[in-house]
Structure 1
């Protein structure tokens, strides 16, 4: 009976050691293969809009906004007399500085993620 208890405890432990050893070997193999081949670096294209393109986007006063007067970039209200910028197509409005900062880094609307295409006024 002592032998059967010993085997019952030893076999699961031995199996776990074997599984762990195989896991470590696979990790080592994957790491060594990735370093030898040299992973290709994916170049990131220009994501934002240029300053000249930003100037072509429509400017309005905060009172003229039809889709609400909350700026999704800074989360502040757009006052009636504050300058605002509209994203063409979806007509979401933002503070002028907030929109220019956002769109210079991202070419999508911060609310609906509609992409502003290269041609003014078109949404992809």
Structure 2
């Protein structure tokens, strides 16, 4: 027979407490976004944390097959034949040393500012809420345009 906690997916009291803490954190982040408290606290001006080490270590690599096929936009040196470069999710290529050094300081692409995941749960929650806020603004604009056009 299944007990109360197993039925709800909790194994221990610590799991239940952790679940409540995560839910409370989600509600606080949503409240902060709804009342623009991120702006008042200066979070948009805050530097982004470094990219997650797991993401950085697992970036795909590519071997350069020909000469004069571009340059690294961080160090501005041309790629050499048979050199290995790393490719980040937005498909930009960089020397391995250059992009690893860059991503240990910030989580975004140096060219297009595409953000990679971080290990900071507060910053990740902030990103989710900002994305949700932009989607909500687009939905409101679409609704307004459908009503008045």
Task: Normalising by structure 1, report the TM-score.
Answer: 0.51
Structure 2: unaligned runs, 5 residues or longer: 1-40, 119-130, 132-149
Under a length normalisation based on structure 2, what TM-score does the superposition of the two structures give? 0.43
Aligned to 1:76: 77
Equivalence for 2:93: 93
Distance 1:45 1:112 in 2: 16
Aligned pair count reads: 76
Shift of the 91–108 alpha-carbon distance from structure 1 to 2, 3 Å rule, reads same
Aligned-partner SS, 1:100: helix
User: Is residue 2:115 matched to residue 1:112?
Assistant: no
> Shift of the alpha carbon at 1:61?
1.2
Alpha-carbon distance between aligned partners in 2 of 1:75 and 1:47, rounded to the nearest angstrom = 24
| Kept after mapping to 2: 8 A contact 1:60/1:84 | yes
Structure 1 unaligned residues grouped into runs of 5+: 1-40, 119-123
Higher fraction of helix: 2
CA distance in 2, matches of 1:117, 1:103: 11
Q: 2:22 — aligned with what?
A: none
- In structure 1, how many angstroms separate the alpha carbons of the residues matched to 2:116 and 2:95? 17
When Rg is computed on C-alpha atoms for both structures, the one with the higher figure is 1
